[in-house]
Amino acid sequence: MTTADDLIALVRAYNPRTNEQMLRDAYAFGAEMHDGQFRHSGEPYFTHPVAVTVILAEQQMDDATLVTALLHDTIEDTKASFAEVEKLFSREIADLVDGVTKLTNLQLTSTQTKQAENFRKLFMATSRDLRVTLVKLADRLHNMRTIKSMRPEKQAQKSHETMEIFAPLAGRMGMQWMREELEDLAFRVLNPEGRNSIIRRFITLQRETGDVVQKITADMRHELDKAGVTAEVMGRAKKPYSIWRKMQEKEQSFSRLSDIYGFRIVTATEADCYRVLGAIHQRWRAVPGRFKDYISQPKSNGYRSIHTTVSGRDGKRVEVQIRTREMHEVAETGVAAHWSYKNGERVENRFAVDPVEWINKLTERLDDDQDHEEFLEAVKLEMYTDQVFCFTPKGDVIKLPRGATPIDFAYAIHTRIGSAIVGAKVDGLRVPLWTRLKNGQSVEAITAEGQTPQATWMDIAVTGRAKTAIRKSLKEEDRERFIKLGQELARVAFENVGKKATDKALRTAAKALAIESVDEMLSRLGSAEISGRYVVGAIYPDLMEKEGEVVAEHRAVVGLAPDQQHHRAACCQPVPGERIMGITFRGQGVVVHAIDCDALADYEDQPERWIDLQWQEGVHAAINGVTLDMTITNDAGVLGRICTLIGEQSANISNLKFIERKPDYYRLMMDIDVRDAEHFHRVQTALEAESNVSSIGRHRDPGLASAGRVAT
């Protein structure tokens, strides 16, 4: 483990004015608080905070961030309190440690709604002090470096979380080196065979061709010497995950993948960057469409560089990045550049852009009442995509995510223009609305009076702003349909308690619920914003308390005609409590699908067959079959304990099928009968808590969707 003296020596190398005593005090306090605690590997727990601090010291961070790293687990995992940290160190450090603790406690791998809530909290916390996130990223990096000591299922969980959230967040903050390492460490866990195959192919390639990187680097240095440009040339093979991702995106094998080598040329001045570009293009042929000038059009995180791809030695494509030393520092450290010290002084880098501005803009734009799914969608779009820059006919620059369309462009200008767009011109030529825009194009939105957003636009638009506006407009158009469905739901809900949904009863309910009109209440009821029980309970609360009768199977679904029969789709196995949609089949009645069922896409061009449905409120019988996909350890009595657990949750096992039998584990499909979504969740939670269950998930089979096959 790095000692206090070693750590201080590392810090003093870039910050001779560091508060050495504060670092020693924090080191001693952290060691005392974590005394007797151990990691999964058996090492003393305090080795972890020290390793996190070293990672941040290597980024030349300030003293407050380093002390926070040493203490980041004390408030959460030891007897230390916020007040004690504040008294011994400072309010600033106590707030930072508390911020890291709060981020650590966010459960970022739960349901999508929960994940969206946590994203919102994460960004709100980040906007207060970015160093909280820097410590958390370093914490995650060290945990991923030492992940082998965790249980396999925990490794998979942490790796998915890293790939989904922390790696893109590091990239968005400009810390590309950290993003690449986090992705590669997660890739090592999630797909070890895929990663090993890429490494094996690299070894074979090197054996056949020699050290290509060294040869191309020497060629580039020779060309720069001829051009009289002083610059540093660095080359490397790309990370296994980066290559794997390119293989998946381009659907190419390793042998056909060309640009697996990357080179960076660091110059003294901006003018030298363009001189280097000229020398490279004179010597090697540029690959069309692979040139990007991020110096004249920087990325939103401050990244500046010239990117070009050329056909190098033996025709191999190589990617070249050209930048100045200042640009390189921002590209390497990203947001950490804001806190970096050299010779005891804060370093001012004119190219560094504070990502707090991006976070603040994001949180300001997303209203508090926006639904969680929309918030998560917008956040991921902001985090996971690069940007393209397009121009209006007047020359104004519009920033958009890569893959954006004229619809996104129009909404970026104004919601009114986006809603009225009927066509677009790109560089003077008429193009379809689904055209993907590219850097530097001039775009003109063509509008028409009376045009309204179309449902198909949801599949074309990619920005959160456009999707939110389209979704809002479609909801308004659906208002009449929701009102009609709400009337039917209200009628059934009142009949369940022996009452009638008269006009006066509905007006009274709307007034009691403080809803401005009956139509508004019915619209909310039809769109599932409120429930029938909620409406009836506003007038007859006592009758609601007596509810408990089991809903008959033929009355389980609301929204069908009196003579229509319904069946649950075998592909998605919807259960009460989940949002549903019906598809009509001649001679079979209506097949009920979960709203997120992939099979619904097959009927997009047949809207006349779609029916809005709702589950009847109340207690349902445990007759709804759901298939579980489980992997369990091959030990005596495990299957018996699992069956007992399911029985204890009042669920019935209707079928059991073994898929794989291995010496150390079994994989099986188990059909269980449950009442509703909540009942199923309780069963799944109980099984997840069983130590002999390695993995568990709900099995859905799109192959069973053909010809409206129904669940048994």
What is the token pair recorded at 438? 């590219």
Whether the CB-CB separation of 425 and 462 falls below 8 Å is answered with no
Instruction: Calculate ∠ Cα 105-108-110, nearest 5°.
Output: 110
Task: In whole angstroms, give the CA distance from residue 49 to residue 578.
Answer: 43
Beta strands per DSSP E along 280-381: 285-286, 292-293, 306-311, 317-324, 341-342, 345-346
Contact present, 424 and 415 (Cβ < 8 Å):
no
How big is the chain by its Cα radius of gyration, in Å?
A: 30
Q: Is 77 a catalytic residue?
A: yes
Which residues are within 8 A (CB) of 667 and not within 5 positions of it... i.e. 6 or more apart? 629, 630, 631, 658, 659, 660
Q: Cβ–Cβ contacts within 10 Å for residue 231, how many?
A: 22
Sign of the alpha-carbon dihedral angle for 501, 503, 505, 509:
positive
Q: Strand, coil or helix: what is 108? A: coil
Buried b (16+ CB within 10 A) or exposed e, 1-34: eeebeebbebbeebbeebbeebbebbbebbbebb
What is the residue whose two structure tokens read 């990370």? 239
- Active-site choice (25, 43, 77, 444): 77
- DSSP 3-state assignment of 494? helix
Q: Catalytic: 76?
A: yes
CA–CA dist 605, 612 (Å, integer): 16
20, 76, 478, 519: the catalytic one is 76
CB 426 within 8 A of CB 442: yes
The beta-strand segments (E) located in 74-183 are none
Give CA–CA dist 630/636, Å, rounded: 17
DSSP 219-266: HHHHHHHHHT--EEEEEEEPPHHHHHHHHHHHT--GGG----EEEEEE
- In one-letter notation, the amino acid at residue 184 is D
Cα(16)–Cα(22) distance, rounded to whole angstroms? 14
Instruction: Catalogue the active-site residues.
Output: 76-77
